Structure 1
Amino acid sequence: MAGDPPGKLKGGRHGLSRDYVRGNQRGRILAAVVAAAGEVGFTRMSVETVISRAQVSRRTFYEHFRNKEEAFLAAYDEVMRGLLERTAEAYERESGIPDRFRAGLRAFLEGLAEDPAAARMCIVEVLTAGPRATARRDEVLRTFAGLAEVEVRRLAPGYRTPALTAELTIGGLYAVVYDRVGAGRVAELPAMVADLAYALYVPP
């Protein structure tokens, strides 16, 4: 889900542009944040932990980020952007309402299962990383609820509470995912698509 981290550049003269070097450094830092947050948690993760994993200097870290919170937020945004794009693409490829729902759900859960460290960072550790991180998480949930609301309105035009129904649907799904990821059982999620779709996709 987070993608393969870029390799460390060799020292000395290499003819690479400054933008390329900075992009490489940033990518390694973000990959290190994902790995560290997923393994030891945001609270125990330190700048030292990140720079050791990323193989960058402390000075380089602070050229990119002011502190570990900013680095965490940037890593969260990058991982979730990829997950949202993957989910939306799968969702849009289908035309029928049940198929769209299942396809989007499958893409999301498979994306989480492919990278357990990133899944833990985005589902569990985001709630320990402060109010800015929690706000990011809430915005993601609102995005998914917006997609769900569209489907509720298509399924039942004139239904009394489409927004609330969508919010409850996404909130319930998040609770199930949080439980599995928190327990180290993220690999189980893709196999739950059919049961989750059946449980959640009930016509109002």
Structure 2
Amino acid sequence: MSSNGVADFAEDDRAQAPRPLMPVTQRERLLDGMARTVAAQGYAATSVADVLREARVSRRTFYERFADKEDCFLAAYDAIVALCLERVSSAYDAADSWHEGFERGLDALLELLAAEPAFACLGVVEVLAAGPRGLARRDETMRRFVAFVDVTRAQVPGPLSAPPELVAQAIVGGIYELLYSHIVRGETDRLPDLTGEMLHYTFMLLGSPQRPA
């Protein structure tokens, strides 16, 4: 862990392949540099110069692509969110039932975040420190994930104890908190092990504490 309480990422991590967000172009290298720098030292302490050193890209190249640090950070955030939504949606849509789709989508999300720890830290932890635009992006992302938790399709027996939208929001919010607590402790690699706990939590809120067979 760094002195800021966010996870450190060793140089050896760069050798891991294949990465879902493998940086190839200069723009992608800058996004990757932003993610790694922010994960190591926090958004507030990160400067454009820090990102340039990490990405090994010139200042001129940076400003040809981004207006400022915030603009680059939000682009990196958008990149990880878009890939998460794509992976979750593909897994969800390929399933035969809501329960199966939810589990597959959750597996896809956790595997992706574990494979991209710096982007996971940026997208789950550091976005909370990125000002009004970052918080607005995060709120929109939460709303988009709520759509995957459509409790009207879950076909859970018995009445729900709250309106469906509130149940879906509670499920997504609880999952987010579990992600946050593990990522901020530097345990991003353990995220794929949380599927069972997250499923149990989800089905408890839906009024069905046992995981479907």
**Superposed counterparts of 1:1-204, under 5 Å:** 3-6=21-24, 24-148=25-149, 150=150, 152-154=151-153, 155-156=155-156, 161-202=163-204, 203-204=206-207
Give the structure with the higher percent helix.
1
CA contact (8 A) 1:2 1:31 kept: no
Deviation at 1:173, TM superposition (A): 0.9
| Identity score, percent | 38
CA contact (8 A) 2:20 2:115 kept: no
TM-score, normalising length: structure 2: 0.82
Displaced runs of 4+ in structure 1, greater than 4 A?
156-160
Deviation at 1:2, TM superposition (A): 5.2
Question: Match for residue 17 of structure 1?
Answer: none
Deviation at 1:57, TM superposition (A): 1.6
CA contact (8 A) 1:51 1:57 kept: yes
C-alpha distance in 2, partners of 1:35/1:163?
35
C-alpha distance in 1, partners of 2:64/2:195?
42
CA contact (8 A) 1:127 1:134 kept: yes
C-alpha distance in 2, partners of 1:109/1:82?
12
Q: How many residues align?
A: 185
C-alpha distance in 2, partners of 1:100/1:60?
42
**Unpaired segments of 5 or more residues in structure 1?**
7-23
Q: In the superposition, relative to structure 1, how do residues 201 and 156 fare at CA in structure 2: closer, same or farther (>3 Å)?
A: closer
Deviation at 1:138, TM superposition (A): 0.8
Counterpart secondary structure, 2:23: coil
**Unpaired segments of 5 or more residues in structure 2?**
1-18, 208-213
TM-score, normalising length: structure 1: 0.85
Structure number, greater radius of gyration: 1
Deviation at 1:195, TM superposition (A): 2.0
- Look up the equivalent residue of 1:185 and give its one-letter code: E
CA contact (8 A) 2:102 2:148 kept: no
Deviation at 1:41, TM superposition (A): 1.4
Question: Match for residue 15 of structure 2?
Answer: none
Deviation at 1:25, TM superposition (A): 2.1
